[in-house]
A and B are shown apart, each in its own frame.
Chain A
Amino acid sequence: MSILYILIPLAVVLLAIAIWALIWAIKNGQFDDLETHGWSVVLDDDQKPPNFDESSEEEDKRDIEQ
């Protein structure tokens, strides 16, 4: 049973690390937006949305306010 005296304090240390990581994540705004990132899985990175910026002449004509 003496292994408990090592494993349990170890668990407490891990707990401290987990809490530190959580607080770090919250401070960095990781939990501010819980909706958007779920979408990143469905949307391929190589497929950018149609570019509507005026920097490109041709794209300029596309407008999404139909």
Chain B
Amino acid sequence: MESDGQPHAVCCSGCEAVANLILQSGQSRYYQFRTENAIKPSDEDVGVAESWKRYDERHSLWGNPLKNGQYELLLQVEGIRCAACAWLIRSQLEARDGIDQVQVDVATGFVSVNWQPKKLLLSRVASTLAGVGYRPHLPLAGAEAIGRQQERREALKRLGVAGLGMMQVMMFAVGLYAGDAMGISEGPERFLQLISLIVTTPVLLYSGRVFYTSAFRSLSQRRVGMDVPVALAISVAFIMSCINFLNGTGHVYFDSVVMFIFFLSLGRYAELVIRHRNLQTGLALARLLPEWAELILDGRSEQVPATDLKVGDHVRVRAGHTLPADGLVISGSTEADEALLTGESRPVLKNVGDPVIAGSVNRSQTVEVEVTKDPDNSTVSMMGRMLLKSQTQRSRFTRLSERYAGWFVAAVLVVASLTAVWWLIHDTEMLFPATLAVLVISCPCALSLATPAAIASSSRALLEQGVLLTRGEALEYLGNIDTVVFDKTGTLTSGTPSVVETVINPKRNEFDVQGALEIAALLEVDSSHPVSTAFSVVQVSREDVLDIINHENGVEGRVGGIRYRLGNASFTGVNVIDITGGLGRLWLADEAGWIARFDLDDGLRDSANETMNALRAKGLELIILSGDQPQAVASVAERVGIDNWYAEQNPKMKMDFLESLQAGGKCVLMVGDGSNDAPVLSAANISMTVSGASELANSTADFIITGKSLKYIEYTLNLGYTTRTVIRQNLLWALAYNLLAVPFAAAGLIVPWMAALGMSLSSLLVVLNSGRLSKRKLRPKAPLIPRKSIL
């Protein structure tokens, strides 16, 4: 979008609309820009309306019927990135007659629409969404999504009940403790205890039930889970409090029970939300494929669901549409954009007989394609299966706390029962308070907070630098990394050609490098050829060039009255055997002979060299795995100083290579960007994607770097090391506290309320220590715009 005459990048349609609104309200002048830049809706949006027309009469797709002829429709919508998107969608849809209520879940990209089919067609709902830049899909896993929402609501209810109950019981507990200290008559005391009991019982039965079911489940599998002592502690405390209350003697511990339940529920809820956020991968994959295909049968065309295509079918694919299946071109020729699958950003020319793959986008002309593989066996589907497989194997992050949980819990139970036995023999009066104090004080609260608190702080620091952390544990394990594997195109390089070296003909020293570049830039000024972007960084004025003629192998034009040619060696009349390294060479010549030679290559990303040096300095092994040609890979590898590189790797080979690395005991960080990298990203111990990565790649990545610079890799690694240090400090403190306090509790020197307070203070310390992490900044500040790689 534009503001003040300058183009600005926006993350999504929502932000853009909001920015537009702000501009509109601030300055009416904005409209001038607006009309200048008015663009027709892309063909794709029209395509959405067309393809959804077929759903209009299908009642089964309308959603769940509600009362008054309303239906609740769940859509999965592409491109929802922030709250602004949700606002835009809601205000657009709700403005339509026939749509009553719209809910947008930003985290998952699901939109729920309450609408009336009598007043509005389904395709209008879809086209309204598509019109504002969000592509709707019928959710493939709609039932699962609704199930997840239900699960989240249930957890929230349990948390809410526990929270409200805790507030009340704590209030009564203050009265009881004050009574203990200053004296309280029996009537009010028993009354407060009774009320506490009345409030605690539903909290225990409703919010606490999950701990019992989980404890029983783990016991029935003959394991001692984390929930066993939890269930035991709350039951013991509750039952003993009831007995004490009925007997009218001793202390009640209802406050400890509810507090315990509340804090644990809080932790569980946070965990649930994060887990749900990570379940989006399969859906991202499904979006790569179109829902409908145009099947040609006896000369007539017919729309069929893409999943119904069979080998031998002929389909027509129009320009701008996505290919529905793997096949061979049988008529027409076009350029296919396979970037999503191969990571190659330039469209590939496809003639009759050339293979095309499902999920690639037909960029220029309508072609007919013979299907050669069932949709189930297409390249995309295979990739999806590889992805799912590596994700299910992803349990490699057995968390420290989980690994030792069984032992820790067993130890707690042993100590608690020993305490109970000891006091049973020596002083039955102390039996209950001491045992409970042991159970409460050894509550692994600080222990279980140690890691998440540190990760939460770090992820906030990362977010401020534009690095999204999608899986918290990944930070903890960054410290184990000893090998970093890079993809080449689009990861180490920016994916666009740039001039890496300019050589002036020694006999023509009247020209200098800058002058030669300017002439070249002038010749390329109107060109749409990808190579021309290499020269677009040079500022020239359009009027200085005349008579541009485009030839097959170059361009010709007149600058300052002299005719120049820019192109390959034979076109410019240079008599050399051209060696093609990188993206090739261009020669600039006038009628007297060649003037300059430009060596082109994929431009490196910002601070690629510094980052590689920094990573090497950390003792990491660096490897390049690329699907590209050996020469191209070699040239990039040389420029960034990586000796270890592999070219012409397909996704399967990359995967095998990675597995062999891991089998050799390496812990691998994979940095990539294309969908073809997705399986490898997912299989790597830790994965990162860089800016401009495909949605599928992002969905499998642990870290998503939104900045263009590679510097953020180093920053993330450094933060990972610090995070690990802090986690270790936290764990050490929590363990030390437990080891120190448990003997006192067992000796009966700590009463349960002191134990609960100590537990909270210990947790607080852990949280404060972790908070230090969020203040870590990237120094020095990275430039937002990549430096010109020219010269």
Contacts and interface: CB of A to CB of B under 8 A. Distances in A.
Interface of A: 1, 4-5, 8-9, 11-12, 15, 18-19, 22-23, 26-27, 29, 31-33, 35-36, 38-40, 43-44, 47-54, 60-66
A62 B95 CA distance: 18
A35 B164 CA distance: 23
A51 to B, nearest CB: 8
Contacts of B86: 33, 35-36, 39
B195 A52 contact: no
B41 interface: yes
**Which of the listed residues A36, A61, A63 has the most CB atoms from chain B within 10 Å of its own CB?**
A36
A31 B163 CA distance: 16
Interface string B86-108: 11101110010000000111100
A12 to B, nearest CB: 6
B164 A19 contact: yes
Nearest to A31: B156
A43 B18 CA distance: 8
B42 A22 contact: no
Nearest to B112: A29
A12 B83 contact: no
B236 interface: no
B791 to A, nearest CB: 31
Task: Return the 6 tightest CB-CB contacts between A and B, nearest first.
Answer: A36-B86, A35-B83, A63-B39, A49-B17, A52-B131, A22-B160
Interface string B161-172: 100110010001
Given A35-B83, A39-B83, A40-B87, A15 B38 contact: no
Given A43-B21, A51-B95, A65-B13, 14 more contacts: A22-B164, A23-B161, A26-B153, A29-B103, A36-B83, A52-B41, A52-B131, A52-B132, A54-B41, A61-B40, A64-B1, A64-B16, A64-B132, A66-B16
Contact of A4 (B38, B160, B188): B188
B168 A15 contact: yes
Given A1-B188, A32-B149, A65-B42, A50 B17 contact: yes
B256 interface: no
B128 interface: yes
Contacts of A31: 153, 156
Given A35-B83, A43-B87, A65 B191 contact: no
B38 A64 contact: no
Interface of B: 1-2, 13, 16-18, 20-21, 24-25, 34, 37-42, 82-84, 86-88, 90-92, 95, 103-106, 127-128, 131-133, 149, 152-153, 156-157, 160-161, 164-165, 168, 172, 188, 191-192, 195, 198-199
Contacts of B92: 49, 51-53
Contacts of A62: 34, 38
Contact of A49 (B91, B161, B188): B91
A44 B91 CA distance: 11
Contacts of B149: 32
Contact of A53 (B106, B128, B168): B128
Contacts of A32: 103, 105, 149, 152-153
Nearest to B34: A62
- Classify the secondary structure of B's interface with A: helix
A64 B86 CA distance: 16
6 contacts: A4-B188, A8-B172, A23-B161, A47-B21, A54-B131, A66-B16
A46 B38 CA distance: 24
Contacts of A15: 164-165, 168, 199
A33 B191 CA distance: 41
Contacts of A65: 13, 39, 42, 133
A64 B21 CA distance: 12
Nearest to A35: B83
B133 to A, nearest CB: 5
Contacts of A66: 1-2, 16, 37, 39
B41 A60 contact: yes
A19 B195 contact: no
Given A15-B164, A22-B160, A49-B91, A33 B41 contact: no
Contacts of B38: 61-63
A64 B83 contact: no
Contacts of A35: 82-83, 86, 106
A36 B88 contact: no
A47 B20 CA distance: 11
Contacts of A54: 41, 127, 131
Given A12-B168, A36-B104, A60-B41, A22 B157 contact: yes
A26 B149 CA distance: 11
A36 B164 contact: no
Given A19-B161, A22-B160, A12 B198 contact: yes
B675 to A, nearest CB: 21
Give the most central of A22, A38, A43, A52: most B CB within 10 Å. A52
A33 B1 contact: no
B135 to A, nearest CB: 11
B669 to A, nearest CB: 31
Given A33-B103, A49-B17, A65-B42, A12 B199 contact: yes
A61 B1 CA distance: 15
A60 B42 CA distance: 11
Contacts of B91: 48-49
A4 B191 contact: yes
B40 A63 contact: yes
